[in-house]
Structure formats: structure tokens, C-alpha cells
Amino acid sequence: MDQSSITPNTSNQQLVINGDNESATALLQEKQARRRVTLSDVTLREFMTVGILCFVNLINYMDRFTIAGVLNDVKNEFGIGDDKAGLLQTVFVVAYMVFAPIFGYLGDRYSRRAIMAAGVALWSATTLIGSFIPDFTTFAVFRGLVGIGEASYSTIAPTIISDLFVGNVRSKMLAFFYFAIPVGSGFGYIVGSVAGAAAGDWRCGLRVTPFLGAAAVALIVFIMENPERGLAEDCHMKPTSYQDDLKSLIKNPSFMLSSIAFTCVAFVTGALAWWGPDFIYMGLIMQPGADITLDSVSYKFGLVGMLAGTCGVPLGSALAQRLRARYPDVDPLLCGFALLTSAPLVYFALVAVTALPAFTYLLIFLGMVTLNLTWSLVADIVLVRVEITIRQCTHV
């Protein structure tokens, strides 16, 4: 984005010099009115917008991890091993990774509402159609299409929050938005295992989120607010080249280091989410007299993930907001502490599964809580450190 078009945050005195006193005062009051200093300043429409974004994020992750809750049934029906079962997630992630920057570029130049609505419609439709596909190869292709649709939403949604709010209000809204990730993931396991078991067909679990997605499209189109880019920070922008944006990002150490670190976090959480229930199940059936099913393990794993997210995401945001005044660098420090703490917890949880099953769930809960501390903090770091003119490209 061209920074020459950004309107400076002029004082009342400067405005008087440049024009009529009443007009200047009115303009200043209008700018101040857009500032959301506390939650009491937030309008109903803005609350509804964040609620819609959170709802879509929740069903987004529900859809993503429904298959993980019934992965053993998927393997049995298609006659595949762990390698091809893992390929399903790989196809999804690769498609997501390739198209996320593209949607970031488009989101700076075209209607974010239209892009998000089209993306949610795409992944809802491909998920529903994919649930009827009988062969593995085509099913994997449709999982890639789901990744494309989800990339369009996940790339753009946080930037709408950044354009509506600043300061601690933005931090609170981001915490609410990212709160939906672990909770939605947990719901995915539960929906997949419960719906599949109830209907006697694992495919039925995939047919739940598309109907919620249709409702989400209507909410995005007719109710969600679509703010002007840079509205909360009084900026008026016009697009520049993607190459210039990328050059600026590469020179930004906070963005680069945060991206590298969060790639590692995504690797750990993705592997744990996809293979965790199966790994725990294999450990539990080694116990003498074990009478347990993979569906029950997936259900419990989903509950643990939901509870951990409910605790971890708001706790991380609250700690950062409380400590920022005294420790300006608290966000990266808190993220580093959380990740260093989570590593041994997750390791010992996996080691203990054959001897202390109950202790395994406790350690996984604690490990997930510490991992979830970082979700909203990383987004906040990027939003603060990256110039507003190129945030959309960052896929925060």
C-alpha cells in the first residue's frame, strides 16, 4: 500500500490552521468517535461482526478436524495405510499454503465480504460433495479444494478485526476470534465420532458443517460489517505492488521470526491433532483387559482440546494485557515461555500413555493450554509490528 496516502493524525490546532474551526472540530470528534477505548465503546454491529467471524472460524476448524475424529474409519473404507491417511491433511495444507497469499493480495484490492462469502461457500460445498465420493484420489482432491476455501476466510478475517479496533480492545477481540480454533477443533472430533457412530457411517460427520457454512455465508453477506482498510487507525490507503509488500515483510524481523516460530507451532499442533487420538488409542489397547474404542478416545480428546482452548486463549490474552504496561516485550516473552513449557508436557503425555492413561489426558490438557496461550498473542505481535499498509499479505 502507498503510505503517501495515509492521512496523518492531525491535532485540532493543525486543523484550525488548514480550515474552518467548526469543520475541523467536527472532523476531530468523528475520528475520536471511531476509537474503541473500552468494550463499552463497541457498537452492536461491531460485536455482531466479531461474533460472525468467530462463528465461521469455529465451523472452519470443526470441518478441518472432523476427519481426524473418524480417521480409522476412513482408512478402513478406502483400504489405505497411515501414509495415505496423512496425505489427506498434506493435500489440505499445501492447497491452503499456496492460496493464502493470493487471497491476501485480493483482499487488499477487492471486497473482503465477497471473498470471504465465496470462500466459505466453496469449502462448505466441497465438503458436502466430498462426503459422497467413493474413491480415495478424488476424495483427496476435494480435501484440497476445502483448503482453498478455508484459506480465503482465514487470511482475511483477522484484518477486519484490526480495521475495527485498536489497543487492548483489539487484543480482546482477537482472543475471542482465536478462542474458536481449539474449541472448533474439539467440536470436530466430537461431531465426527458421535455423528458417525450414531448414523453408522463416518461420512455423516462431514455433512454437518456444510449446513452451518450456508448460514455463515448469509451472515457474512447481510450482517457483517466490512470496514474501510485502516479505519481504526485513521488511514486511507491505495494498493501498491505485491513485490513491494513482500520486500517490506522480509525486512521486518518481528514478522519473519514470528512466522518461523509459528510454523513450528503449527507443525506440532497439526501432528498432535491428526494423530493424537490414534496414538492414544494404540497405547490404551495395550493395557490388560482394555475395552475401548477409537470413537471414545476421539470424543475425549476433543473435550480435552475444547477445555484447553477455553482456558488457554483468553488466559494468554489477559496476561499480556495486564503485563504490557510494565513489560513492553511481554508478548514474545510469554509466547517463548509457553512453548518451552508445552514441549516436555506433550512429550511426557505421549510417553505415559501405555502406563498412566488418565495422567496422559491431564498432561495433554496442560500442554494444549500452554500452546493455546500463543494464538492471539502472535496475531497481536504481527498487527503491531507490521505496517498497516501490508498486513493483509501477512496472513495473520
Whether 145 is covered by a domain: the verdict is yes
Specify the residue for cell string 474404542: 293
Whether 28 is covered by a domain: the verdict is no
Whether 72 is covered by a domain: the verdict is yes
Q: Would you tell me how many other CB atoms lie within 10 Å of the CB of residue 195?
A: 20
Assess contact for 182 and 368: CB atoms under 8 A. yes
What pLDDT is recorded for position 295?
83
What pLDDT is recorded for position 222?
95
Domain interval for residue 73: 43-394
Mean per-residue pLDDT, 360-367: 93
What pLDDT is recorded for position 54?
95
Whether 306 is covered by a domain: the verdict is yes
Whether 345 is covered by a domain: the verdict is yes
The alpha-helical segments, DSSP class H, found in the chain are: 12-18, 21-34, 44-69, 71-78, 82-107, 112-130, 136-164, 167-199, 203-206, 209-222, 242-250, 253-284, 294-323, 330-351, 357-372, 375-385
Mean per-residue pLDDT, 183-187: 91
Cα 192 to Cα 186: distance, rounded to the nearest angstrom: 10
What pLDDT is recorded for position 33?
52
Whether 3 is covered by a domain: the verdict is no
Classify 13 in phi/psi space as left (phi over 0), alpha (psi -120 to 50) or beta.
alpha
Q: Exposed e or buried b for every residue in 125-135, given b needs 16+ CB within 10 A?
A: bbbbebbeeee
Dihedral, 228, 232, 233, 238 alpha carbons, nearest 10: -10
The predicted-structure confidence for 110-166, as pLDDT tens digits, reads as follows 899 999 999 999 999 999 999 999 999 999 999 999 999 999 988 899 889 988 998
Could you write out the DSSP letters of every residue in 104-146?
A: HHHHTTS-HHHHHHHHHHHHHHHHHHHTT--SHHHHHHHHHHH
Cα 264 to Cα 274: distance, rounded to the nearest angstrom: 15
The predicted-structure confidence for 289-344, as pLDDT tens digits, reads as follows 777 888 888 889 999 999 999 999 999 999 999 998 899 889 999 999 999 999 99
Name the nearest CA neighbour of 151 among 375, 395, 390, 394: 395
- C-alpha dihedral sign at 85, 88, 89, 91: positive
Mean per-residue pLDDT, 359-373: 92
With a pLDDT cut of 90, the percent of the chain lying above it is 47
Q: Which range, of 29-38, 176-185, 375-384, averages the lowest pLDDT?
A: 29-38
Cα 370 to Cα 36: distance, rounded to the nearest angstrom: 29
- C-alpha dihedral sign at 54, 58, 63, 64: positive
Higher-confidence residue: 379 or 55? 55
Residue 391, pLDDT > 60, answer: no
Whether 31 is covered by a domain: the verdict is no
Q: Highest-confidence range of 133-142, 251-260, 378-387, by mean pLDDT? A: 133-142
What pLDDT is recorded for position 11?
35
Query: What rounded mean pLDDT belongs to the chain?
Result: 84
Residue 285, pLDDT > 50, answer: yes
Residue 167: pLDDT band by 50, 70, 90 thresholds? Answer: confident
Cα 342 to Cα 371: distance, rounded to the nearest angstrom: 6
Mean per-residue pLDDT, 376-390: 70
Cα 167 to Cα 321: distance, rounded to the nearest angstrom: 9
Whether 237 is covered by a domain: the verdict is yes
Number of domains comprising the chain: 1
The predicted-structure confidence for 38-66, as pLDDT tens digits, reads as follows 888 889 999 999 999 999 999 999 998 99
What pLDDT is recorded for position 336?
93
Kindly report the CATH number assigned to the domain that includes residue 133. Answer: 1.20.1250.20
What pLDDT is recorded for position 28?
42
